[in-house]
Structure 1
Amino acid sequence: MSRTGKTLAIGGVFVASIIGAAIVTNSQSNNTMSIAAGESQVQTLRFSMSSNNQHPIYDGAAKFKEIVEKFTELKVDIYPSAQLGDDRAAIEMLQLGTLDVSIPSTGPLANFYPEYNVFDLPFMITSEEVADKVLRSDFGDEMLNRLQAKGLVGLDFWENGFRHVTNSKQAVRSIDDVRGLKIRTMESPLHLDAWNAMGATPTPMAFNELFTALQQGTVDGQENPYPNIALNNLYEVQSTLSNTGHVYTPLALIVSQQTWNKLSRHDQRVLRQAAIDAGDYEREVNRRVNMESLEVIKANMNVVTLTPEAVKGFQEATTSVIDKYTPIIGADVVASFQKQIEKAEAELASN
């Protein structure tokens, strides 16, 4: 059974679930995992994130902190704005056991887990509702399970959102307008290949370096969800946004395996449930801020809505990328992802 329907309300029901022996757990739990009994051997969890403290992801982290500190003796210290390093550095620190918790996008995770490229295949997930069903499913649980192979424990998927392209050169109304643009991307080979296929000149860099790079003209544009654009004032150095929605980016709430092994069973259960409840809260806030951010963007930038024909042009340009990465990801993973998307779309259409 997947995590769908397992979220418990914070309060009496949550307390009962934590205390009771029959607490609901995620299906990605691994019974072979070394689990500390009795009291936890750590007192403070260092939680690193790339986004600043104005972003909905920070609100989710704060909710996670609130729940964990309420139902355990643990303390959670949050470090926003990549204070401890960008997503890739945070993942490496988690594997080494020098960091406890982080919430990277799935793109940087693909550098360590090739199957995670599946989330960045262009034009696959079609709506937030589809994303919810796909990520809170047996497929989502299996993807979290895969993190255990290299020293991480996956607790839940949160939301970054649909990515849209901005630039300071010209309005992007079709695939032809992308050609020659220098676009900052995440540090992901798939993203590089996708933008190359679209005719752009992609440049990978950490998000905390982006504003300066745009300001200095090192790159012409970038692609991110609305909140990342508005809350980081990218409209000050960008003139046009095009609603490409080319990729839906999840976030993975992950814990160092070394830290996890030092937690008591009770505290492990609290962290799993806190991840789910805080994830629900983060999605709610993110979608509200998403719309608010779009209004800020409209007030400061030219916003282009692509025609269906233009979207088709982008899809056709990136088909080769899907073909290239299917054997890298695993044909079984891609097929399972597509099947889960189709199932979600059918369920939503029937409601």
Structure 2
Amino acid sequence: WGIPVKKGDQPWPGMEGKVFYVWFDAPIEYIACTAEWADANGKTDADWERWWRTDKGAADVTYYQFMGKDNVPFHTLSFPATILGSGEPWKLVDYLKSFNYLNYDGGQFSTSQGRGVFMDQALSILPSDYWRWWLLSHAPESADSEFTWENFQTSVNKDLADVLGNLVSRVTKFAVSKFGNEVPAGGQFGPLETALIADLGARITDYTRFMAEMEVRKAASELRAIWVIGNEYLQQAAPWSVVKTDPEQAQAIVRIALNLIRIYAILSSPFIPDASATMMKAVGSDDWTWPSDVHAAIRTLQPGHGFEVPENLFRKITDEERADWQSRFSGVRT
């Protein structure tokens, strides 16, 4: 269905049976919805035109579009042609990021057959961060990707619960049990800490670059690697052993680990914003400055700064739950 393609009101040879599909003019709503926002909130035309008209302030706007691969032609051909054809100074897209298809457990998602887990159902099972992490870390960028319950369980349990959640829990609980609810002051950073800071700085540089280049899966992989080096540092530094022989040095280890949690909160916020907010609240900070300067960031929480032990960031998915969900969302939706 659609609007027949003609030259004016006359038939167009070669275009017989062709129609303008809804996406031909649907992108105009990107502009219209901004105007609607202004109207609904008592704003002036200047408030929305500043984002869309280059003669009214939009020359400094960087405009990104994200979409499935089947919508690329409408956003690279017909919509720009409409904008250019108007003869008016509308802002054109700067970067367009398209994705391949996400399939479901050996087949395709199907709303008519109820095959797949849909947003309302997903959020009734687990909070949004669980789904955000899996979807972004498995984004179908270079090829189609497939959601399976086994992979989802593994990703949640290993990445979120074991790597990130376990670090936050171990550090805060150990710190409180040995030194109380304030960042301890003792000890000095040594070779292990120097190596950690160098590794962290290099990885944050790569992570930032992947984010800027919209390489979502690479960014997620780098973020996980950043979580891992924190765990590796703790395993090597072993504050639970050091505290028995050198409690001053154990304090230095705990101090850098608590600052790591704050850094992880900032870096993780594009992927798991709710967990990031929980981490930041736990370390008693509202400073979301991007940690480009790791040497400064790792010292942001000074001795005497208060913190608390948060609830577990992520719970593990059991085999029984996985089997139940796999069965429940394999066919007709109820």
Work out whether the TM-score is over 0.5. Answer: no
Structure with larger Rg: 2
Q: TM-score, normalised by structure 2?
A: 0.22
Report the TM-score, using the length of structure 1 for normalisation.
Answer: 0.22
More helix by share: 2
Q: Which structure exhibits the higher relative contact order, with contacts defined as CA atoms closer than 8 Å and separated by 6 or more residues?
A: 1
